[in-house]
Amino acid sequence: MPRMNLDKRKILEAAGALANELSVKKLSLNALAARLGIKPPSLYNHVESLDRLRGELMAYGWETLGNEVSNALIGVSGDEAIRRACHVIYDYASRNPGVFEAMAYYNSEDGEGNSPADRLSDIVYRLCSARNVSEAQATHVLRIFRSYVEGFALLARHRSFSRDIPVRESFDLGVEFLIAGIHQLENAHCSQLKNGAEQPPEGSENHA
Amino acid sequence: MPRMNLDKRKILEAAGALANELSVKKLSLNALAARLGIKPPSLYNHVESLDRLRGELMAYGWETLGNEVSNALIGVSGDEAIRRACHVIYDYASRNPGVFEAMAYYNSEDGEGNSPADRLSDIVYRLCSARNVSEAQATHVLRIFRSYVEGFALLARHRSFSRDIPVRESFDLGVEFLIAGIHQLENAHCSQLKNGAEQPPEGSENHA
DNA sequence: GTATTTTAACTAATCATATTAGTTTTGTCA
DNA sequence: TGACAAAACTAATATGATTAGTTAAAATAC
């Protein structure tokens, strides 16, 4: 009968903490209610369903991460902006593995826009438009970065990497590969084609 | 009372088909039993638990994919081998979204080695050793490729990409970026340092 | 070919969890 | 103060995983 002062925020933070401790799939209403000091059915005063809660957790995570990225990018531009954005995302994923898992697993079919993807997208588009990279190619670049960063974070979380070689170094090197890729695109645009081995020689079907 | 002739293979194939149709998280013993024409408890004659089934599905998927990669690489070497391996993995993920999800979600904490990761690893190591790329760097390269390919496949599955620009082209371009990255490593080794913008200028903390 | 043992199906029961219905209490606001 | 809405509760239902105990089919032993 005592009245907890719960709001969406507190609930999502508790859910996020649980997800980080247990993993998303083990996030249950029982556990969440216990953590909040209420009985499971009471959660339905705040949340529509467990599935919906996971969806909101995803949106909450993206929003938080979006803010962190924005903050990290004040006064930074160019390659360095991309580099920092990637690092912030990776760090966030390391600190909040469960929430990040939710962010990766649940797509934003519901209205919740994944704003942070949007922010990362802004950065990449801006960087590309400052160079000689078409908008279509910027879209490719964006997809490539998202795939790499999210994929890496998920694999790292699942301990898919042996530990003897520093994981962080691998991540950073990959980011540099991709940044170099953008430079290639740029050069290919300026001087029609680059010298050297960077252009796919024979068997690459179709790349922008 | 009639006796279905079930074995692990048939069960995993049915489970895989269900996972592909419904997604892994909706793969239930009820649905699986119905598909196999038996009652749910009978499944326990073949499988230890639902969680364990998912684990076996993961291993089964990796094995299947491993074979496909091996077949695709007969008589192919160099960059083209990497390119093909990436494509085979991507195609597999497109054809078997549910199983691939299981492969990405469930880590191989149990004994089941993810052999196909091992096979991809072989390819990358072999390619690197044929060049001037150290083994430590080959490890980085392997992680980077896995992250990119798995990440891309998962995002594509979750429809995280807008549809108006061909997804496949994005994927291929990313592969070329990464292959170019390997070439860079190689060059950096040969002639100590490359000219141009590929080396991170100021703020990149630590990359191999 | 019959008896025995094992295997794989079954039914019935249990447990956990999400969810709904209906009730009570608490805080807010006229 | 008194009515109302929100948020907690208890009790009940549903679904799905899992266990116990049973039976029948197949394989093996004799």
What span, in angstroms and rounded, lies between the C-alpha atoms of B121 and B124? Answer: 5
Q: A103 near A124, Cβ under 8 Å?
A: no
Residue B161 DSSP code: S
Task: Determine whether the interchain pair B177/A181 forms a contact, defined as Cβ–Cβ distance below 8 Å.
Answer: yes
Q: What is the pLDDT of residues A115-162, one digit of tens each?
A: 567 777 888 888 888 888 998 999 999 999 999 999 999 999 887 888
Contact residues, B window 97-116, toward A, CB-based 8 Å cutoff? 104-109, 114
Choice among A27-41, B17-31, B144-158, B176-190 with the minimum mean pLDDT: B176-190
Residue A20 predicted with pLDDT over 80:
yes
What span, in angstroms and rounded, lies between the C-alpha atoms of A198 and B141? Answer: 16
Q: Is residue A145 part of a domain?
A: yes
Q: Is residue A196 part of a domain?
A: no
What span, in angstroms and rounded, lies between the C-alpha atoms of A187 and A183? Answer: 6
| Number of domains chain A is built from | 1
Q: What is the pLDDT of residues B105-131, one digit of tens each?
A: 765 544 445 556 777 788 888 888 888
CB neighbour burial string for B176-187, b if at least 16 within 10 angstroms, e if fewer: bbbbbbbbbbbb
What span, in angstroms and rounded, lies between the C-alpha atoms of B44 and B189? Answer: 56
Cβ partners under 8 Å of residue A129, min gap 6: A135, A138
Contacts of B174 in chain A (CB under 8 A): 140, 143-144, 147-148, 178, 181
What span, in angstroms and rounded, lies between the C-alpha atoms of B54 and B103? Answer: 9
CA of B5 to C1' of C8 (A): 9
Q: Is residue B45 part of a domain?
A: no
Residue where the block lists tokens 């962080």:
A168
**Tokens in use for A138?**
């910027």
Task: Determine whether the interchain pair A79/B25 forms a contact, defined as Cβ–Cβ distance below 8 Å.
Answer: no
Q: B85 near B69, Cβ under 8 Å?
A: yes
Rama region for B44: left / alpha / beta (φ>0; ψ in -120 to 50; rest): alpha
Q: Is residue B29 part of a domain?
A: no
Q: Is residue A40 part of a domain?
A: no
CB neighbour burial string for A160-171, b if at least 16 within 10 angstroms, e if fewer: bbeeebbbebbb
Q: Confirm or reject contact between A208 and chain B (CB < 8 A).
A: yes
Range of the domain at B161: 50-190
Choice among A23-27, A130-134, B149-153 with the minimum mean pLDDT: A130-134
Q: Is residue A9 part of a domain?
A: no
Q: Is residue A66 part of a domain?
A: yes
Instruction: Look up the CATH number of the domain holding residue B178.
Output: 1.10.357.10
